[in-house]
Amino acid sequence: MLIGGEWVAARSGATFETVDPFTGRAWAEVPRAAAADVGAAVGAARAAYEDWRRTTGNERARLMRRLADLIAENAERIAVVETTDNGKLIREMEGQLRGLADHYLYFAGAADKIGGATIPSDRSNFLIYTLREPVGVVAAITPWNSPVLLASWKLAPALAAGCTVVVKPAEQAPASTLEFAELIAEAGFPPGVVNVVTGFGPDAGAPLVAHPGVDKVAFTGATATGREVMRGAASHLARVSLELGGKSPNVVFADADLEAAAGGVVAGVFAAAGQTCMAGSRLLVEASVHDEFVALLAEQADAIRLGDPLDPATEMGPLAFAAHREAVERHIAGAVQDGARLVCGGDRPPGDGYFVQPTIFGDVKGEMRLAREEVFGPVLAVQRFADEAEAVRIANATEFGLAAGVWTSDVRRAHRMARELRAGTVWINSYRAVGPMAPFGGFGASGIGRENGLVALDEYTELKTVWVELSGAARDPFKLG
C-alpha cells in the first residue's frame, strides 16, 4: 500500500488474494488493511495537507499534467491489470485509460483558477469578498467495476483544489489502483498527498469513513452501502458525495432510427456486462414498434461474442466475481417467478469464467422486482408505452434517478423529454457517453453531489466569506451589522 510516500505491507502482515473472473483463479495478492493502517494513511494525508493546500495552483497543475503524461504512457499496462482483475473488456479499458489523461489535464487547467468573488455591499464602509479553500483530507472509496476511472473522478478535482486523499478500492479489484498509485509517486506528488489502502469494507472502509481526521468522503457504489457510508460520515459531520445505483430507462419512440437505437440499448445494458451504475437496464418501447424492436434487439443480443476479456474480439466478458454472478442469477430467477417473459438468454454459457448470457425479459410490469431493483448485470427489462405522457410516467416510476436515454427524430419531443425525465444525465439518441467537462450524478437514491465538470470543484472546496471594515470608525457593540 502507498502510505506517506512509502510502499508498505499491512501492519498485521495480513494479505488477501484477488481472482481473475475469466479463469476463476487467484492471480494477485495484496495487503489486507485494518484500522491501524487506515489511521496511518489518514495521518499521512493530514500531515501533507498543510503544505499541499499552500502549494500554488500552477505547481499543482504541473504535477497533474505530469501524471497525465504518465497515464498515457502506461495506459495499456494498467488496462491489462484492470481487465485481469475485474473482467472488463481490454478494448474498453485501453480506451478508458488513455482517455483518463484528459481528466487530469482538464482539472489541471482549473487548479490556478479557483477563486471567489467580490460581493457588492449594502453599506459603504465594508468590503465583502469570498474565498474558496480546500475541504481538507478526502476519503475516496471506489467500486470494482471501474476502479481507476472512478478514483480519478475524485482525485483530479480534489488534487486541483488542494486536498489530500486516501483511496480505498473495492476488495474485489484492488490491483489496478495500486498500479496507478505508482504513477502518482513517479509524477512527483509530495509524500502523503495521495495514499492507497487495500482491504475489506468492515476492516478498512468503515474505519476510513468514520475517522475524525477525514473531512470529506467521496463514495461510488451500491445505494445500500452509500447509506452506511453516510451514517459513518455523519458521526463526525464529514461532507459526503455519493454516486450510487441506478435503474435507468432507455426510451424508444416509434419515429426513432431503430437500428441506431438498438445499438444504443446494447451499449447501455450489455457493454461491461451491465456492471455499470448508468446501465440502461429498463427499455421502454412505443407500442406500435414494440414487437419489431424487441425482435431486433434479441437478434443482436444473441450475437454478442462472449469470451476472454483480454481478446480484442470479445464483446462481453464475465461478471467480476462468483458471488455477483449468483446475485444476478437470483434476479433472473425472480423475474421468471414474477411472470416476466424470457425473450433470450437467462443461463450460464458453457465453459469456465463467471459468465451470464445477455438476457432480455419482456412483458415486465412496474410492480415486478426486475423493474424496480438494480441488477448490475446483463439483464434488460422491457416495458411498452402508448404515448409520451405514459413514457414519462413509467420512466420516472423509480427511486433512482441517475441517467436516461431518449431515442426520437422529433427534436421538440427530445427537449420535452429531457426536461421531464428525473435523471442526472439524459442522452438524446445516444447512451453511455461521459467526459471530464460534463457533470455526472443522480437524483434520489442515485446519490448526492456531482462528479466531473467545474461544479465538481465545489465538492472539494469550502466557501469562506470575508468582511473588511474600511472606515475604522467605532460602532455600537450591541447592534448587528
DSSP 385-402: ESSHHHHHHHHT-SSEES
Q: What topology does CATH give the domain 249-428?
A: Aldehyde Dehydrogenase; Chain A, domain 2 (3.40.309)
Give span(s): CATH 3.40.309.10, the chain. 249-428
Helices (H), 422-468: 456-459
What pLDDT, on the 0 to 100 scale, is given for residue 264? 97
**Which of 277, 286, 344, 374 does the annotation list as catalytic?**
277
> Pairing mode, if any, of strands 400-401 and 443-444?
antiparallel
pLDDT at 475: 86
Between residues 477 and 377, the one the model is more confident about:
377
Helices (H), 144-212: 147-161, 175-187, 206-210
Work out the pLDDT band at 480, boundaries 50, 70, 90: confident
The whole-angstrom separation of Cα 461 and Cα 458 is 5
**Do residues 207 and 103 touch, judged by C-beta distance below 8 A?**
no
- From the candidates 82, 94, 243, 459, give the one annotated as an active-site residue: 243
Angle ∠(148,399,367) on CA atoms, nearest 5: 120
- C-beta neighbour count of 454 within 10 angstroms: 16
**Can you read off the three cell numbers belonging to residue 176?**
489496478
From CA 107, how far away is CA 457, in angstroms rounded?
Answer: 9
C-beta separation of 1 from 197 below 8 A: yes
**Is-contact 444 422, C-beta < 8 A?**
yes
Kindly list the distances between the CA atom of residue 471 and the CA atoms of 20, 203, 258, in Å, as whole numbers in the listed order: 70, 57, 70
The residue with cell 498500479 is 179
Residue extent(s) of CATH 3.40.605.10 domains in the chain: 2-244+446-466
> Of the CATH numbers 2.40.30.10, 3.90.50.10, 3.30.70.520, 3.40.605.10, which one belongs to the domain with range 2-244+446-466?
3.40.605.10
How far is it between the farthest Cα atoms of the chain? 85
Residue 243: active-site member: yes
Question: How far is CA 319 from its chain centroid?
Answer: 18
Give the cell for residue 333. Answer: 430467477
Tens-digit pLDDT profile for residues 115-169: 999 999 999 999 999 999 999 999 999 999 999 999 999 999 999 999 999 999 9
pLDDT digits (tens, 9 = 90+) for 420-439: 999 999 999 999 999 999 99
Distance in angstroms (rounded) separating the CA atoms of residues 276 and 270 = 10
Question: What is the spatial distance between Cα 204 and Cα 198, in angstroms, rounded to a whole number?
Answer: 7
> What grid cell was written down for 114?
479557483
Triad 162, 163, 165: Cα angle to 5°: 145
What amino acid is encoded at 115 in this protein?
Answer: G
Residues facing residue 466 across a β-bridge:
129
* Residues 444-477 pLDDT 10s: 999 999 999 999 999 999 999 999 999 999 888 9
Give which of 435, 449, 358 is closest to 402, Cα–Cα. 449
Q: What is the pLDDT of residues 254-310, one digit of tens each?
A: 999 999 999 999 999 999 999 999 999 999 999 999 999 999 999 999 999 999 999
Q: Residue 479 has what pLDDT? A: 87
Residue 479 burial (C-beta neighbours within 10 Å; 0-12, 13-18, 19+): exposed
Q: Is 87 helix (H, G, I), strand (E, B) or coil?
A: coil
CB atoms within 10 A of CB 330: 12
399 labelled catalytic: no
Residue 367's pLDDT band, with cuts at 50, 70 and 90, is: very high
Q: In what order do the strands lie in the sheet with 447-448?
A: 6-7, 2-3, 194-196, 164-168, 137-141, 216-220, 239-243, 447-448
Averaged pLDDT score across all residues of the chain: 97
Residue 481, pLDDT above cutoff 80: no
- Copy the grid coordinates of residue 93: 479499458
Residues 49-76 have a mean pLDDT of 98
Position 110 scores a pLDDT of: 98
User: In this structure, what C-alpha cell is assigned to residue 2?
Assistant: 502507498
pLDDT tens, residue by residue, 216-263: 999 999 999 999 999 999 999 999 999 999 999 999 999 999 999 999
**Number of residues written out for the chain:** 481
CB atoms within 10 A of CB 58: 10
